[in-house]
Structure 1
Amino acid sequence: MRDASDDLRYVYAVCHPPAAPLAADLTGVGGVPPRQLRHEGLVALVGPVPERDFAAEPLRAHLEDLDWLAETARAHQRVIAALTTVTCPLPLRLATVFRDDSGVRAMLQDGAERFERVLARIDGRVEWGVKVHLDGEAAAGDAPRAAPQPDKPRSGRDYLRQRRSQRTAREESWERAEGFAQRLHDTLSLRSDDARLHAPQDAALSRAPGRNILNAAYLVPRSQSEEFVELVDRTKDEEREATGLRVELTGPWAAYSFTGDDTDADGTEHGDAAPDGRESAS
């Protein structure tokens, strides 16, 4: 039988005291409900986890197990998503673990100034993600499906002419796509309190079709989220026929991209993987 006295403390997020309780049936990592640990106006949402899995050495091995990692990330994100419905949390990195409650309180005490600064910045706000993809056909500079295929080159000159034509089409497609993505980002930045540009996603890792042109996050007041979503929706069909563009909206999330260096709190944090269980809302 598991001895609860040996459990470590898994910390999901830091926030101010929520205005409403979390759902009674909410469970986190290991299927255990999280609880609030309060310290001088701050709250850490924590849950017990067994030392045999979350001490430094076994955790390091677990992080190489993709199935274990995915299950843990989903549980982590489930708690963050639930917390986001009742407050604006500062999420901590996946597998942030402390020895006991006193370690968590020390983390809250030592990081209090930074936590308060970040929580003030994200108060009343959520994160929306927007991606723009250029489909594979357009990215490759291929002709539209309805157009006839070019004749087989009859000479080396014909072959070079076709190659130049394909290269020009590809360059023009990229220019149009990048121009659209920049205009969209500029527009959305004006409608948000803050914005972050992330590196384009690798299609082999994200499994999303096409090439990722824009990968951005926007910090939007909850009260203005409906208007923000409508603005993105109005762009989804713009220029699609001409350039093969696809606009993807995700959220609302906790403000992952706007919490600064929130995962380096003093303590026994072992993990180095960010939460990975977020799903598209569109």
Structure 2
Amino acid sequence: MTRSPAIWVYALAREPLPVDRLAGLSGVDGTPVDTVVAAGLVAVTGRVDPDRYDTETLRRNLSDLAWLEPTARAHHRVTEEVWRLGPVVPVRLATVYRDEAAVRAVLTERRTELAVALDQVVGRAEWGVKGYVSDRPAVPATEGGAAGGGLPGAGAGADYLRRRRAALQASEAAQEAAVRDAAAVHAVLARHAEAARQHRPQERALSGVAEQMMLNGAYLVASERATEFGDLVGRLGATHPNLRLELTGPWPPYSFAALAEEPTGGGSERAVAR
């Protein structure tokens, strides 16, 4: 017996949403984008094969980069298109419900919470600032033995050890300075944003950057202050040379409006129940 499609949820918005502008947009698995409406709210959704998105399959897939990367890109693409139409509450990746009735139940039960979240992000966008240990830090290196300046009788091995020790001390000093700079930069940016979050710095394998990440900040900024915020990041990069700052955005407010916990009630589930 063929099972009814499951419902993948991308984002939540207010009604009315100009859904005609989403026509032709496809999401996860290349399926068309649709909507579910209840309580004055709109869930932007897509229909997916329930046999591919049961609890166990989702758990395996979320650890599989070959599945995760294209799926995350498709999820983000839809969320970003909805965000261009107005305020959104992003829904985290792989939030799947058994049917539309379960989605409507969530919209109805959490309408007050969702309305507050949408109010918070009206006219605002998320900007990301990452800070990496600079490859040309301003911290002076610890002095080692200069050429010809070693102790009488010291050989090439001793000279190498001195240079190695000096390099390690300089690296440690640069790391400590970058930690201090990251905290200072975040404090300043937070004061110039509507809200701020510090995420855990990404490992090199995930960031794809050779330098170590020391700051992974997210900042909710009013649209009319976006240029001012970008200029501030540039000035902070100049005055904190132990960090190389990278500004990204604008993004949908993933760090500020996403649901803080799993929806409950109304028969809803994150994964499709068998």
TM class by smaller structure:
0.7 to 0.9
Mapped pair 1:210 → 2:205: no
Higher Cα radius of gyration = 2
* Residues 72-106 of structure 1, C-alpha deviations (whole Å, 9 max, x = no match): 11110000111111112111111111111101011
CA–CA distance in 1 between the matches of 2:67 and 2:145? Answer: 48
- Would the alpha carbon gap of residues 177 and 102 (structure 1) be closer, same or farther in structure 2, given more than 3 Å must change? same
The normalised TM-score by structure 2 is 0.82
Aligned-pair Cα RMSD in Å: 3.3
* Residues 6-52 of structure 1, C-alpha deviations (whole Å, 9 max, x = no match): 21111111121366443433211121221221111111111111112
CA–CA distance in 2 between the matches of 1:239 and 1:186? Answer: 13
Aligned residue number for residue 165 of structure 1: 166
- Would the alpha carbon gap of residues 151 and 205 (structure 1) be closer, same or farther in structure 2, given more than 3 Å must change? farther
- Relative to structure 2, which stretch is displaced further, 188-197 or 113-122? 113-122
- Structure 1 outlier segments of 4+, above 6 Å: none
Q: Which runs of 5+ in 1 are unaligned?
A: 272-282
CA–CA distance in 1 between the matches of 2:130 and 2:88? Answer: 24
* Residues 127-177 of structure 1, C-alpha deviations (whole Å, 9 max, x = no match): 1110110146759x996xxxx997698368756654553343223323432
Identity of aligned residues (%): 37
Aligned residue number for residue 119 of structure 2: 120
* Residues 216-265 of structure 1, C-alpha deviations (whole Å, 9 max, x = no match): 1101112222221222233444454xx3x311111111111113653411
Mapping 1:1-282, distance limit 5 Å: 6-17=4-15, 20-21=18-19, 22-135=21-134, 154=154, 161-162=162-163, 164-240=165-241, 243=242, 245-259=243-257, 261-266=259-264, 267-270=268-271
CA–CA distance in 1 between the matches of 2:211 and 2:165? Answer: 22
CA–CA distance in 1 between the matches of 2:129 and 2:63? Answer: 29
Kindly state the Cα deviation for residue 193 of structure 1 after the two structures are TM-superposed.
0.6
CA–CA distance in 1 between the matches of 2:11 and 2:17? Answer: 16
The normalised TM-score by structure 1 is 0.80
Q: Which amino acid aligns with 1:218?
A: Y
CA–CA distance in 2 between the matches of 1:118 and 1:111? Answer: 11
Kindly state the Cα deviation for residue 60 of structure 1 after the two structures are TM-superposed.
3.1
Kindly state the Cα deviation for residue 121 of structure 1 after the two structures are TM-superposed.
1.8
- Would the alpha carbon gap of residues 25 and 235 (structure 1) be closer, same or farther in structure 2, given more than 3 Å must change? farther
Q: Which amino acid aligns with 1:262?
A: A
Kindly state the Cα deviation for residue 119 of structure 1 after the two structures are TM-superposed.
1.7
- Relative to structure 2, which stretch is displaced further, 91-100 or 168-177? 168-177
Any conservation in 2 of the 1:92–1:262 contact (CA below 8 Å)? Answer: no
Partner secondary structure for residue 25 of structure 1: coil
Q: Which amino acid aligns with 1:264?
A: E
CA–CA distance in 1 between the matches of 2:35 and 2:100? Answer: 11
Any conservation in 2 of the 1:14–1:92 contact (CA below 8 Å)? Answer: yes
CA–CA distance in 2 between the matches of 1:7 and 1:264? Answer: 21
Aligned residue number for residue 274 of structure 1: none
Q: Which amino acid aligns with 2:101?
A: S
Q: Which runs of 5+ in 2 are unaligned?
A: none
Q: Which amino acid aligns with 1:13?
A: A
CA–CA distance in 1 between the matches of 2:29 and 2:92? Answer: 17
Partner secondary structure for residue 37 of structure 2: strand
- Would the alpha carbon gap of residues 88 and 122 (structure 1) be closer, same or farther in structure 2, given more than 3 Å must change? same
